Structure 1
């Protein structure tokens, strides 16, 4: 660890305030979104080259500082996380590991430079951009009423500003006014059907209201758009696809004598996403039911095999039942037969061998096979290191 500011538990704990992290993430989102708008305005000739260069340098520096702060807080959280026993490792590891963050993401968005309270310039583009920046800062400070007022002021200057409509809607969502949010989002989509942010937020509002089919429709459109990576990260952080899939699937497939899922308009991907959410909700029996339906349709569906095995493995460790652990390994074997080198199955089987069956040599072999893969998912690599799998194997075998 080279960053002295997070080298001690005390300093790390100071960075764990969840509200502060959310505020930083909101500021990050606005900065990246606004820099993209600046690029678009420059391309359209609304901003000259001198202003564009100065503004872009300033916005990029601000975004970089926010990204570093977010990274430090997340690292601090990992530093102070307590050590876990074998059983707790399996209890705490989620079925699907979502690695949040913006490591490697190119800064493509930014915001204005005039501070809050500075006088207007008389330039509607600059004044609108500053109002958007001030509105974002208010939202980051949880002052949603002020944020909404500032977005409204921006819309008085430029009534067709899709960004202002979209993010006024989001402030209304955060303030608990879903009806106003829905109105703004519909207006934003009418003005620019290809604006991805509005599609994502509309899907979130629909999902929160339990209108999962409508949320799904928004995501279908979103998937056809040239959306920035940030919006995919918003979807991931909200677990939006998983929540929507479960909302659509539950009433039709988690029932007695369910019909074939393809016959009611679902895909294997829909069932898998729904199963991921069920795991997060602790509904393991229903999760296994969906995997069984996937395997009934395709007995070699490697995701269903591997993640069914993972659920069984965690249950086996928690209940100290070797039979469940053996069944889990059998599922991992089948997944790897269906897709040799399947990273998820290799890592899950290695965890099961090491923490469940005390077969460290086999765990080492699976970990070596994972290390040899050309494409190693970052989430799985982080999982291995976070939960000490490599170190545990070395300690058990007495070798490096």
Structure 2
């Protein structure tokens, strides 16, 4: 044990390790072998005056309080700082608590400990972080939520012009979150409950509250949800709607599978071909490609084969870059399909006609929801590892930690 009195070499060593500088110094160190806990006492030089935010000058100490803060482990031992923290007296007679800049944003932690928790929580579940640092799940969650809220309060969305909006399930039943991402920076900027038109209104209001404006958004990538279309039209008036090419092809793939299921009722040879028809040909095995080629050779008599050909033609059309060419070819594709006897694909043609401008817009914007869909996969995986997140506030925090690219350095001074 090393304790108060004259400053020892050990004290100076811990001062260096902690980043403690004048007027602060380590006044004592105590190690409890039974609990494997290290306690470091920190004090300040007598007579020191302290500056207070929004108050001119430096001010005398009125009295002090001992604050106990959890700090980073030393050699796997839990470490706590016992800091004699001053309350200072202002010229108008008020007494206010002084807080060193190496104190954390949540009571009971140092800045460095909170930084460690944040870094770990961006890669791990709260439960895993809590186990590693020896704190409760609730304390880890509280740290992360506090920093996310502080960072979002300072968010500057004045440069956001291209947005992707999508929903993801958050709990069993019909419970959803709507996520908005800045496609320029490829990061999540907004999360809210629900998936109706009102979610777009809330996003527009959030933009206005964070140095942006709904009028600045020029492009929005969404799925073909009537609620999202209505919300964008109403609340993001200058935004051109883009329907992701991959959403359109997904609808066509569903039509191929539906046609297969209908036709196999009278044609058993189609059984077992589901994944052969849904996968890209290049990803099939040699046997799968042979089965597919044999089916396509019968396109004159099998509607499932014709459905597959229609989907592949649609994929090829949407891969082109000239909007006038895509527009002309897409109109012809719809006309051909609507004259066919492939009923499920007719529904896709009708859908394309209904959302024609937004689908053609893909050729110019090339804006997709792939980023959000990848994020959705990460989020669902995180939910499974954590055995589910049940509260919206928790899920919002997790999404921003995973994909918000929040700049925590802007809200906290770095320790000396």
TM class by shorter chain equals under 0.3
TM-score (norm 1): 0.23
Structure with more helix by fraction: 1
TM-score (norm 2): 0.22
